[in-house]
Amino acid sequence: MRMIAYISAIITMLIVVGCKSNVVEPKSESNRTVEIDDKSMTLSEMKLDSVSIAMKGNNEYKSGEPLRFAIDTKGRAGYIYIIYEDSSGGVGVLYPNRYSPPSEIIGEHIFPDDFGVDPKAVTASRNCSDCKRDKTLLYAILTKKRISDIQNIDRGILHNILTKSKGIAVDFNRSYGNSGNFYVGVLEFYVK
């Protein structure tokens, strides 16, 4: 019985090897390497690239005032994710959302106008009633692939992906090498 199994395995190997010996490798005309992206990645696969993207906007809003800011990808194309972190540690996704699916962008864009988001739907708010100003951070994350589990992001995951490759502190103006798969921009504002 074992002998039949061995002979069967040897015959299968000979057939496979015989078929592969006629394979012709394609030759490339150029020396360029083409980067092929899968359709998506998970939050745990993210690694910060050395170059950030730019965000511009107001430093201060009144409670109830619509948010408006610019994002400049500095010529890089990709999928944009806009995440907020409030002073109480709450984290959420402003874009994409169930009304505005992710799409590839490049260049400078204004939120909410260029993202299919109703300008009155996203307003500044305070978490504290006894403070004069409440701080909020906005992160624009540009990726070459869609993030399949962006809805799972929380403060721990956000801080982990922003700092995991760089030690203790995050310095968005410093170069860490071009081995990352996303870029980030940060905008800080206060709500009074």
Q: What is the pLDDT at residue 60? A: 95
Q: Per residue in 132-167, pLDDT tens?
A: 889 999 999 999 899 988 888 888 888 887 775 443
Q: Is the pLDDT of residue 124 over 70?
A: yes
More confident: 164 or 114:
114
Q: Round the CA-based radius of gyration of the chain to a whole number and report it.
A: 24
Q: Per residue in 33-91, pLDDT tens?
A: 334 345 676 766 766 665 588 999 999 999 999 999 999 999 999 999 999 999 888 99
Report how far residue 48's alpha carbon sits from residue 14's, in angstroms, rounded to the nearest whole number.
47
Q: What is the pLDDT at residue 3? A: 40
Q: Which residues of 108-142 are buried (b: 16+ CB within 10 A; e: fewer)?
A: ebebbeebebeeeebebebeeeeeeebebebbbbb
Q: Is there a contact between 112 and 121 (Cβ–Cβ < 8 Å)?
A: yes
Query: To the nearest whole percent, how much of the chain has pLDDT over 70?
Result: 65
Q: Is there a contact between 72 and 107 (Cβ–Cβ < 8 Å)?
A: yes
Mean of pLDDT values over 99-115: 92
Where are the domains positioned within the chain? 41-191
Q: Which CATH class is domain 41-191?
A: alpha beta
Whole-prediction pTM: 0.68
SS (H, E, C) the chain: CHHHHHHHHHHHHHHHHHHHCCCCCCCCCCCCCCCCCCCEECHHHCCECCCCCEEEECCEECCCCECCEEEECCCCCEEEEEEEEECCCCEEEEECECCECCCEECCEEEECHHHCCCCCCCECCCCCCCCCCEEEEEEEEEECCEECCHHHCCHHHHHHHHHCCCCCCCCCCCCCCCCCCEEEEEEEEEEC
Mean of pLDDT values over 172-183: 53
Mean pLDDT of the chain: 74
Angle, CA of 49, 163 and 37, to the nearest 5°:
35
- Confidence grade of residue 93 (pLDDT, cut at 50, 70, 90): very high
Q: What is the pLDDT at residue 96? A: 93
Q: What is the pLDDT at residue 15? A: 32
